[in-house]
Amino acid sequence: MHTLLVTLQYFVTITAELTALFLGISTAVALLLMYIPREKLNGWLTRRGLWGNVLGTLVGSLTPFCACSTIPMMLGMLNAGAPFGPVMSFLISSPLLNPVIIMMILALMGWKACLLYFGVVFIGSVSFGFILEKAGGARYVKNVRIKNSGCHAECDREGVPARFAGKLSAAFWSAWGTFRGILPYLLIGVAIGAGIYGYVPQDFVVRFAGPHNPFAVPVAAIIGVPLYIRAETVIPLGLALLQKGMSMGAVIALVIGGAGMAIPEMAMLASILRKRLVVAIVAVIWTTAVVGGLFFNAML
> Is residue 298 classed exposed, middle or buried when 0-12, 13-18 and 19+ CB atoms within 10 A define those classes?
exposed
The tens digit of pLDDT for each residue in 203-224 reads 655 666 667 777 888 888 877 7
Residue 16: the pLDDT is 83
All residue ranges of the chain with pLDDT < 50 are: 145-157
**With b meaning 16 or more CB within 10 Å and e meaning fewer, what string describes 139-167?**
ebbeeeeeeeeebbebbeeeeeeeeeeeb
Residue 146: the pLDDT is 42
C-alpha distances (whole Å) from 280 to each of 42, 73, 141, 217, 266 are 24, 20, 13, 20, 11
Cα 27 from Cα 288, distance rounded (Å): 29
Residue 230: the pLDDT is 61
What is the residue-wise DSSP string for 213-263? Answer: -TTHHHHHHHHHTT----HHHHHHHHHHHHHTT--HHHHHHHHHHHHH--H
231-243 and 99-109 are packed helices; what angle lies between their axes, rounded to 10 degrees? 20
Under a CB-based contact definition with an 8 Å cutoff, are residues 234 and 262 in contact?
A: no
Residue 130: the pLDDT is 92
Name beta bridge partners: 273: 141
Cα 75 from Cα 81, distance rounded (Å): 10
Residue 226: the pLDDT is 63
Cα 237 from Cα 123, distance rounded (Å): 25
Amino acid letter for position 97? L
